Amino acid sequence: MQPKKIMICDDDRGILEMLELFLELEGYNVICEINSTHLTKQLISHKPDLLLLDLWMPILSGDQLIKIIRSTPEIKETPIIVLSASVDGPEIAGNLGANGFVAKPFDLTDITDKINSILKN
């Protein structure tokens, strides 16, 4: 079976590297994107099975990106899990139609639990 493809978009390099390492250990195919303005293009070209998305990012923020993704036909079905330290994160994620939310700092098991439950469906 092909490993599932997961894309991560976060402006913090530390989080990107840590999640990449972990998810690869978990057996996923991981693509990282630190520049949020490149994300749409990357999504269209890689068609990942799931997107882990940060909210507070410069230039193009996570909430703007969700709106763009949900209105871009090729990628609008991409499951999105929002990762944020922001207080209003859960609300934003819910309102904009993300598939899940995990608060930073998280337990890695929370991430795998969320990914598994979404990918199962």
Partner 1 sequence: MRKNASGINNSKQRIENKNNDLDLYLKALNSAYSGIIITDNLQYDNPIIYCNKAFETISGYAHDEIIGHNCRFLQAQDRSQAERKIIKESIARGEECKIEIRNYRKDGTLFWNELFISPVKNDDGQVTHFIGVQNDISDRKKAEYDLREEKSHVELKIQQRTKELQDKESFLSSIIETVRESLLVLDANYIVLSANRHFLNSFKVTTEETVGNLLFDLGNQQWDISSLKEMLTRILPTNNPVIDYEVDHIFPHIGRKVMLLNAYRIEFEGQYKDRILIAIEDITEKKEQNRRKDDFLSIASHELKTPLTTIKGLFQILQRLSAENTDPKYVSTLDKITAYIDRLNLLIAKLLDTSKIQSGNLELHMDPFEIDKTVQDAVESMRLAAPDSDIQLTGNTGSIVAGDELQIIQVLNNLLSNAIKYSPESKKVEVSIHKVANFIKISVRDYGMGISYQDRLKIFERFFRVSHIQKKFPGLGIGLYVSHEIILHHKGTLWVESEPGEGSTFNFTLPIVTNK
State which residue, 22 or 31, has the beta carbon closest to partner 1: 22
| Cα pseudo-dihedral 17, 59, 114, 44, rounded to 10 | -90
Alpha carbons 9 and 94: distance in angstroms, whole number: 18
Record the tokens describing residue 101, joined without a space. 């939310």
Q: Nearest 5°: CA angle at 88, between 51 and 9?
A: 25
State which residue, 74 or 91, has the beta carbon closest to partner 1: 91
Is there binding between residue 53 and partner 1 (CB under 8 A)?
no
Is there binding between residue 87 and partner 1 (CB under 8 A)?
yes
**In the bound complex, what is the minimum distance in angstroms from residue 44's beta carbon to partner 1?**
28
Point out which span in 17-25, 34-42, 45-53, 72-80 binds partner 1 (CB under 8 A): 17-25
Contact, 82 vs 88, CB < 8 A?
A: no
Q: Which residues are near partner 1 by CB under 8 A?
A: 12, 14-15, 17-19, 21-22, 25, 56, 85-87, 104-108
